[in-house]
Structure 1
Amino acid sequence: MKFLARRPQKETSEKKKKSMLREWIEAVIFAVVTATLIRTFLFEAFMIPSPSMEKTLLINDYIFVSKLSYGPRIPNTPLALPFTQARMPLFPNMKPYSTAVLWPYKRLPGFGKVQRGDVVVFNLPVGDTVLTSKSGNDVDYYRELHPEKFPSPDIRPIDKRATWIKRCIGLPGDTLEINAGIVYINHLPLDPPEYSQRPYFLFDNECKGLPDSLVTKFEIDSNSFQMRGDSTKFRYYFTQVVARKLRQLGYHIEPVIHSADRDSRIFPRDFEHLYNEDFFGPIIIPKKGLTIALDTSNIILYARAIATYEHNTVDTSSNVIMINAAPASSYTFKMDYYWMMGDNRHFSEDSRFWGFLPEDHVMGKATMIWLSYDKSSIRWRRFFNLIK
C-alpha cells in the first residue's frame, strides 16, 4: 500500500502578508487597550495644579497614583473614549463619554483601605459642586463665582468629575474637631504632616522682614507681604521645620489663627454652626453601618450624604425630619466617608468647604513623584521621591 504525501501548499496561499498600515493599526489598538487597563486597574499619572498641598507636593509635581492600594474602581461610564475625562481635547463642548450605560459603584479587592495620613486622589463630590442654591439644589461652585462663564450646572457621573488631591485626616466613625487651627481626632490632637505649611506673622522692629538669603535658603513661599497699618508685621508661609529654625535664629514669629467668627463659605453653610477654617466641629464622620441620631440641629450636616450620595429623599421643611416620606429620628449609613484636608491648610478648599468624601469617589493613593519642575528649572531632587 502506497501512501501519498500531501504536497505542502505555499505559505503565501494560506496567509497573506499584513500590510504596514494594518500592522500600525493593530499596534495602536494594543497599546491603547493596554494603557487603558493599566490606568484603570494599576496606576495613573497626575499633575499637581495648585499649592493646596505645599510643601508636601508642589505645583508641577507629576505623581503616580496607585489604584491597587484601595482596590481598582470599576468605571461608572464604560462607554468613553480612552485618556479623556469630562471634555474632549480641542472640542470643549463635546463630551467624550456616554451615559447610555452607567455601572453602579464597585471596587475590586486591593491592598487595604484608606488610612489616616494617606494622600488620596479622588473625584470632587457631586459633580464639580460644593455649594447649594437657596432652593437646596446643587450648584456648580465656579458658576456661583462666575455666572457669566457657567450659565448652568454640569453634574457628571462620578468617574468624570473633577480630580482633586488632599490628605485624609478623618476616618469613618471618627469624631473630628478643629480648634485654633489644631485638628483633634477622637479628642486627641493630630500632628500636622512634616512638610505642611501655614501662615505666620513675623514681627521685626526694623521693618525689613526676612533677608533674601533666608528666603532662598529655606525655600519660603513667595506669597508674603508686609501688613498694612503695621510696618513691623509681616505675613509668611512656613513649614514647622522652618518656623523652628527661624525661632532658633532669634526671629519673633506667631502662627496666624482666624478668629472664631462664622465663615459663610464653610460647610454646611448655615447660620447655626459658627464654623471657619480654624474653628470647626465637633462632628462625627459617617461610617457604613453607623446609626446617627438626627434632629433639626444636625440634619444639615448629614442631609447631603443621605440624599445625594445615598440616594434618598430628605425633607426638612417642617420640624419633623422626613426621609423617603417617613418620619426619621436617626439614619444608618450605607457607605464609609472620609474627611480630607490640604497640607497648606489656609490655602486649601477641602472638606471644610464641601463636607464628607464618600468612598465611591476615592480613586487611589498618591505614591511617588516621577517628574517636577518650576518656572525656570527642573527640580531634580524631587524625582522618584515617595509621597508621605
Structure 2
Amino acid sequence: MPINQLLVIYLISLLLVWLPSFGLAKLFKKAGRESWKAYVPFYNTWVMQDIAQRPKHWVFWQFIPVVGWFITPGIFIEFAKVFCRFSFLDHTAAALLAPFYFPWLANHKDARFIGAEGVHKHKKPSWREWVDAAIFAIVAATLIRTFVFEAYTIPSSSMEKTLLVNDFLFVSKLSYGPRIPNTPLSVPFVHNYLPKINTKSYSTLIQLPYTRWFEGPVKRNDCVVFNFPAGDTVIHAEGFESLRPYNQIRRFAELGHQESLNVLNNPAEFPVVVHPVDKTDNYIKRCVGVPGDTIKIVNGILYVSGRPAFVPPASATYYIFRSKNNVSITDDFLRESGIRISPDGNDFMPIGQGTYRINLSLSELELLKTLPVVEAGSITKEIANPEEYSYQLFPYYDTAHHWSADDYGPLWIPKKGATITLTAENYPIYERAIRNYENNTLETTGNGSYVINGKPANTYTFKYDYFWMMGDNRHNSQDSRFWGFVPETHIVGKAWMIWFSYENGPRWKRLFNIIK
C-alpha cells in the first residue's frame, strides 16, 4: 500500500477520535477524569474504555486500517452508556454523529454519570438484542465482502466446461489486493439495483477515487472476476443491461438496425443508466493476456506474444461430426457416454441429416472419437466466419481486416507507464482506454493530429495496466474480443473455490474444488 494512502487512512482514524473531544472533555470531568485527556487522540478512547470498564485491547484494534473505523463507534456507544443513554437513537447518534452528539450530551440536563456498575444493572429488551446482533453481523459481513472474499454465482455458459452454470464461487479479494468501494453509500449485500422496486441500490453523493491496498499482480491464466467495462452505460430494461450494452445498441443504430433505432428513440421505455465502476455488472473470464502482451488468434488457436497460449483442460470449443449411416444421436446418449451437454441447448444440435455440431473439451473430444456411432475421420473443428462477427468485434472498424472470433489481431495490451504514438490505425483501439478509463478528454482533428486535455499531442502514456479476458467456452463467450481491454481499476478478485454447485440437484463432485 502506498504510504500516502496509509497516511490518509490514519488521518481519518485520527479525526474520528479527535472531533468529539470538545464534548468528551466535559463528560470526562463528570466522570472524575481530567478533561485534557479527551483531547489526546486514542488516549481518550483508552480512558473511555477504562471508565466503562470495557476491554482496553479495543483501543489497539483502532489501528487496523479501515477496520479501526468500525471499532471507534463501538467505543463511543459503550461510553454513552455510562451516562445512562441506552436508547437505539442515542447509540446510533453516538456511532454516526459523535462530533455533534457528545457536545449535546455534555450539556443535557438528564446526562448523569452512572458508571460501569449502573450499566451492568440495565437490561436490554429482547428486540434490542436482535437489532444489535443484526447490525454487528451486517458490519462484519460487509468488511469480509470488501476486504477478504465474496460469494458469486456463475450465471452463463461462457466459462464452460471449467465453470458451470449455477456453480457458486468464493472470490478472493486478497489475491490482487482489496479495492476500496467507489460508492461507499450503498445498501449492503445488493449490487446495483434493489430487488422488487428496481431502483439504484447506491448513492453517488460520495464517490472515492480508485484505491487498491496491498496490490498483487493479476497473473496470466487466472480466472478473474471484474466489473464489466462496457457496462458503465446500460439500457435499464429487460433483455438489455450488460447483455446488450448501450454502446452496442448505439453502434447497431448507426448501421441502420431498426430495433436499435427504436430503442434509442424511446427513452421512456428504455432509459439509459450510467453506473460507477464498482456498480457495473460482475463478469468472470480467464485472463489470457497481461500488460505488454500482444494477442493474436489464428484458426482458433490463441497466441500470446508469439507463443501458443495455455489451453485450460476443461475449456470447450465447437466441432462438426457425422454419424455412421446417418444414425440419430441424442443428448441423453452423449451424457451417458460421459460428455457434458448443458441444459440450455447450446452444446449439441443437429445441423443436417446425420451431421451434428457439438461443444467439447479436449478430453471429451478424445471420448467422442471412440464412440462407435461416430464416422471415423469426420470430426472437424469449427472456425468462425469472418462475416459473422466483423461489425461486432472490438475495435469495431475492422471489416477491412476481416477479423473474426477465431482469426483476430494482433493487438497490443496497454501497460502502465508505456507510451504509444497515436495514429489513425490505433486510435480506435486505445481511444476508450484514454478517454473513459483514464478520464482524459481526447479529440482528433482529422488530419493526423490529436488533442488530449486541451493540448496538442501525438503520444500518450498509460496510467493503468490493462488485461485481455476470454471465456474458456470461446464460441459462447462475450469477452475482450467484443468489448476490449479490462483496466486494473475494474478488477474485483480471483475466482478461488467452488463451494456449491447445482443442476437438478447438488453436483457433489464439484463441491470445494479449487478453480484452475
Fold in common (TM above 0.5): yes
Q: Does 1:152 align with 2:271?
A: yes
- Residue of structure 1 equivalent to 2:289: 170
In 1, the alpha carbon distance for the partners of 2:286 and 2:309 equals 13
Q: Does structure 2 retain, via aligned residues, the 8 Å contact 1:202–1:209?
A: no
- Residue of structure 2 equivalent to 1:348: 477
Q: CA deviation at 1:384?
A: 0.4
Q: CA deviation at 1:294?
A: 1.6
- Residue of structure 2 equivalent to 1:3: none
Q: Does structure 1 retain, via aligned residues, the 8 Å contact 2:253–2:261?
A: no
Q: CA deviation at 1:327?
A: 3.0
In 1, the alpha carbon distance for the partners of 2:228 and 2:429 equals 18
In 2, the alpha carbon distance for the partners of 1:200 and 1:135 equals 30
**Could you report, residue by residue, the CA deviation over 1:217-239 in whole angstroms, capped at 9, with x for unpaired residues?**
323324322214xx232101111
- Residue of structure 2 equivalent to 1:329: 458
Q: Identify the match of residue 218 of structure 1 among 322, 331, 338.
A: 338
Counterpart mapping for 1:146-295 below 5 A: 151-208=270-327, 210=329, 212-221=332-341, 222-223=345-346, 224-228=348-352, 231-249=353-371, 251=374, 252-261=378-387, 263-270=390-397, 271-295=399-423
Larger radius of gyration: 2
Higher mean C-alpha deviation, range 328-337 or range 29-38: 328-337
| Amino acid across the alignment from 1:103 | L
Q: CA deviation at 1:292?
A: 1.6
Counterpart mapping for 1:284-323 below 5 A: 284-319=412-447, 320-323=449-452
Calculate the TM-score normalised by the size of structure 2. Answer: 0.68
Q: Which runs of 5+ in 1 are unaligned?
A: 1-8
Normalized per residue, the structure richer in strand is: 1
Q: Does 1:383 align with 2:511?
A: yes
Q: Does structure 1 retain, via aligned residues, the 8 Å contact 2:386–2:405?
A: no
Higher mean C-alpha deviation, range 23-32 or range 204-213: 204-213
Q: Does structure 1 retain, via aligned residues, the 8 Å contact 2:431–2:442?
A: yes
In 2, the alpha carbon distance for the partners of 1:259 and 1:13 equals 76
| Amino acid across the alignment from 2:306 | H
CA RMSD of aligned residues (A): 2.5
Q: Does structure 2 retain, via aligned residues, the 8 Å contact 1:321–1:328?
A: yes
Q: CA deviation at 1:303?
A: 0.2
The secondary structure found in structure 2 opposite 1:154 is: strand
| Amino acid across the alignment from 2:293 | D
- Residue of structure 2 equivalent to 1:107: 212
Query: Residues 260 and 151 of structure 1: is their aligned pair in 2 closer, same or farther, counting only changes over 3 Å?
Result: closer
Identify the structure with bigger relative contact order (alpha carbons < 8 Å, sequence gap 6+).
1
In 2, the alpha carbon distance for the partners of 1:244 and 1:209 equals 20
**Could you report, residue by residue, the CA deviation over 1:15-55 in whole angstroms, capped at 9, with x for unpaired residues?**
31111111111111100000000000000001111000000
- Residue of structure 2 equivalent to 1:5: none
Query: Residues 146 and 255 of structure 1: is their aligned pair in 2 closer, same or farther, counting only changes over 3 Å?
Result: farther
The secondary structure found in structure 2 opposite 1:80 is: coil
The secondary structure found in structure 1 opposite 2:436 is: helix
In 2, the alpha carbon distance for the partners of 1:302 and 1:81 equals 35
Q: Does 1:131 align with 2:247?
A: yes
Query: Residues 187 and 200 of structure 1: is their aligned pair in 2 closer, same or farther, counting only changes over 3 Å?
Result: same
**Could you report, residue by residue, the CA deviation over 1:129-163 in whole angstroms, capped at 9, with x for unpaired residues?**
473636999xxxx9789666962321111111111
% of aligned pairs identical? Answer: 45
**Could you report, residue by residue, the CA deviation over 1:72-111 in whole angstroms, capped at 9, with x for unpaired residues?**
000001111111111112210x22211111000000105x
Q: Does structure 1 retain, via aligned residues, the 8 Å contact 2:246–2:272?
A: no
Q: CA deviation at 1:13?
A: 8.0
Q: CA deviation at 1:173?
A: 0.4
Q: CA deviation at 1:325?
A: 2.9
- Residue of structure 2 equivalent to 1:358: 487
Q: CA deviation at 1:246?
A: 2.2
Q: Which runs of 5+ in 2 are unaligned?
A: 1-114, 233-241
Query: Residues 242 and 34 of structure 1: is their aligned pair in 2 closer, same or farther, counting only changes over 3 Å?
Result: same
Q: Identify the match of residue 154 of structure 2 among 35, 44, 48.
A: 48
Query: Residues 373 and 45 of structure 1: is their aligned pair in 2 closer, same or farther, counting only changes over 3 Å?
Result: same
Normalized per residue, the structure richer in helix is: 2
The secondary structure found in structure 2 opposite 1:95 is: coil
Q: Identify the match of residue 22 of structure 1 among 121, 125, 128.
A: 128
| Amino acid across the alignment from 2:354 | T
- Residue of structure 1 equivalent to 2:21: none
